[in-house]
Amino acid sequence: MTDVNAESGSGKVLDVVVVGGGPAGLTAGIYLSRARMNTLLLEKQSPGGAPALTERIENYPGFPEGISGYELVRGMRRQAEGFGLRISSFNPLLGLREEGEVKVLQTEEGEIRAYAVILATGMRPAKLGVPGEEEFHGRGVSYCATCDGAFFKDSVVAVVGGGNSAVEEALFLTRYAERVVIVHRRDRLRAGKILQERALSHPKIDFKWKKVVKEIKGDQRVTGLVLADVESGEEEELPVEGVFLYVGNLPNTEELRGAVELDERGFIVTDADLRTSMKGVFAAGDVRAGAVWQVAAAVGDGVRAALNAQFHVENLRGTAYV
C-alpha cells in the first residue's frame, strides 16, 4: 500500500489523483503513468471494481473465447503498476474541495493534494427494500453470485431481476444450485438476446413472470419469498434457500455531494470532455451520468479523462502554477 502521508506531506501536490480502481480508473492510471504524470490511484477495496466479480466477460474486444472479469482487471492492474502507477488500497475518499488550482481530497489516511482529479468511483447494487432483506443479508440474501454461489450447492435459489447482470448470475448459479428461479416484474427479460436464449433454454432455470418480491422469509436463514402478481396483487410463497438481488445500481457519490454537480439519481454530470462542475476534476466510467455500463465504454472514458487531465495539468505548468 502506498504511504499517503508521504505523498501528501510537506505541501507536496501530485499531478493527478484517480479515485476508483475499476476499468475506468485503471485505464486512466495506465495512460497517466505512461505520460510520466505524478499519479496516485485511491481505491476503497482491492482494485478491480465490479467486473472483478464477473464470472465471464464475452463482449470485451480481443478475447474471442471470453475472459473472467478477475483476469481482465488483474491484467489492467499489472499493466498500470508496470508503468509506475502507485495504488493506495482500502483508503476511501471522504470529501473533495478546491483551494485555488489545487484539489484537496480528504481520505482516512489524511489529505491528498493534486492539480487534477479523475472520479471513477463506480456503482453498487441497489437494495430491494423489503422486509427480511437486511435481516438475512449474508444468511441467504446476496448481491453477488460469483462471491456466494458455491454456498448453495444442490439448493433452490431465486434471482430477482431481468437485466444482463441478473441473467448472467443466474446462469452462473446453475453450476451449484439444483434449480434457479428468475423472478421478474415483466413478462420478458431485458438482458441481451444471447443471454436470454441461454437462460430460456437452460434445464435448471425456471421463471416467475410479472412478479415482485414483497417479503423475504426465514428463520436462521432464508426459507422463502412472498411474491405478488404485478397486475392482480395476488400473493404466493416461493420456497428457496437463497435469493440474489439485481434490481439496479446506485452511484458511489455520497462523499461528492456539494463538491460536483450530480443528476437527480446521484450520477456525476459531465460535459463531452468528461469535465465536472469543478475545474480540473473529471469523471469516468459507470459513475458518470449518461454512461454506458459496459467495460469497453469505461475503458474509453478512462482514456479520455486521462488525456484531458494531463492537458489540464500541463496547461497549468504553462501558466507557472505547477
Domain finish residue from 245, 280, 299 = 245
254 and 281 in a common domain:
yes
CATH number for 13: 3.50.50.60
- Domain holding 183, by residue range, is 127-245
* pLDDT tens for each residue of 126-137: 999 999 999 999
Would you please indicate which residues are annotated as catalytic (active-site) residues? 144, 147-148
CA atoms within 13 A on the CB side of 280: 24
Q: Is 213 within 8 Å of 131 (Cβ atoms)?
A: no
115 and 217 in a common domain:
no
236 and 151 in a common domain:
yes
What's the whole-model pTM score?
0.83
Domains in the chain, number:
2
109 and 135 in a common domain:
no
Domain finish residue from 215, 245, 275 = 245
* pLDDT tens for each residue of 39-70: 999 998 877 777 887 777 888 999 999 888 88
Query: CA-to-CA distance for 14 and 17, rounded, in angstroms?
Result: 7
Query: CA-to-CA distance for 119 and 105, rounded, in angstroms?
Result: 11
274: confidence class by pLDDT, cuts 50, 70, 90: very high
254 and 198 in a common domain:
no
